[in-house]
Amino acid sequence: MRISNRAIEAMDIAAPPPPPLSDLSERALLLDIDGTILDIAPSPRQVWVPTGLRRTLTRLADLTAGAVALVSGRSVNEIDLIFSPLQLAAIGVHGAQMRARSDGEVQSRAAPLSKALKRRLSAIAELGPGVLVEDKGYALALHYRLAPDKEAEVLAAIRRICSDAAGEAVEILPGKLVVDVKPAAINKGGAVCDLMRCAPFAGRRPIFIGDDTTDLPVFGVMPKLGGQAYSVGSIVAEVDGHFDGPQAVRAWLAQIAAQGEGR
């Protein structure tokens, strides 16, 4: 078992948002979902796609010849349902799934958690109302946004169960009022590196925008990919700039979609 203990580091320096882009012919856009382009909701199923965002993402996909990907802890199937009828390239379940093209097949990059471990983790919901279980197939998440006072109990129970996971190599990944348990061998950063080797992303300079500790592995790989990283909410040590919140991210994306030029 490995516990992710890196935290987003607040900094006192100013970190501006990225400047407007006019030429997207050599760029790729990699976007986290919850807390980045969508506002955080009380539960995972209550997220709402604001008016105009699908149109913006569609335009950006056209301008980049398809080099726009959603990078999320959600499964690719759930990403597609949320943004339907729009379908984009995607990385799902923190890197366990990848689809390099909008019309491509979803590739598995890890084995799912065992049913036995999921059953034990799911029993943590008995701690009280507001602790919600989300089975992501490859991973399992325990949300306590509706019961923030349960944070210590939820994390302690997860650690106790995972320490006796019968040889199953897992990582405990705390996020914003949620804890994911996922296979230790995968993360968003590794999946992004693989994605950037595939058409239509290969040869492009990526821009990644994320908001949570689960996005730190992607922030870390941007320099070696010749890319840039921007945080949302908190300011992170290794990023190039910062957005105040999802509304600011959506406004910037709409701006570059309106004035951008593709191939």
User: Which positions are catalytic?
Assistant: 32
Please give the C-alpha separations between residue 107 and each of 13, 99, 208, in angstroms, as whole numbers. Answer: 40, 6, 21
3-class DSSP state for residue 83? helix
Please give the C-alpha separations between residue 99 and each of 68, 84, 194, 200, 240, in angstroms, as whole numbers. Answer: 11, 16, 10, 11, 27
Residues 182 and 193: their CA atoms lie apart, in Å, by 19
Strands, DSSP E only, in 42-105? 68-71, 89-92, 97-99
Residues 29 and 249: their CA atoms lie apart, in Å, by 12
Residues 28 and 202: their CA atoms lie apart, in Å, by 9
Contact 125, 133 (CB under 8 A): yes
Q: β-strands 178-183, 140-143: how paired? A: antiparallel
Nearest-CA neighbor of 26 among 78, 63, 73?
63
- Rounded to 5 degrees, φ, ψ at 5 are -120, 10
Cα atoms in the Cβ-side hemisphere of radius 13 Å centred on 119: 3
Question: Would you give the DSSP letter of residue 43?
Answer: S
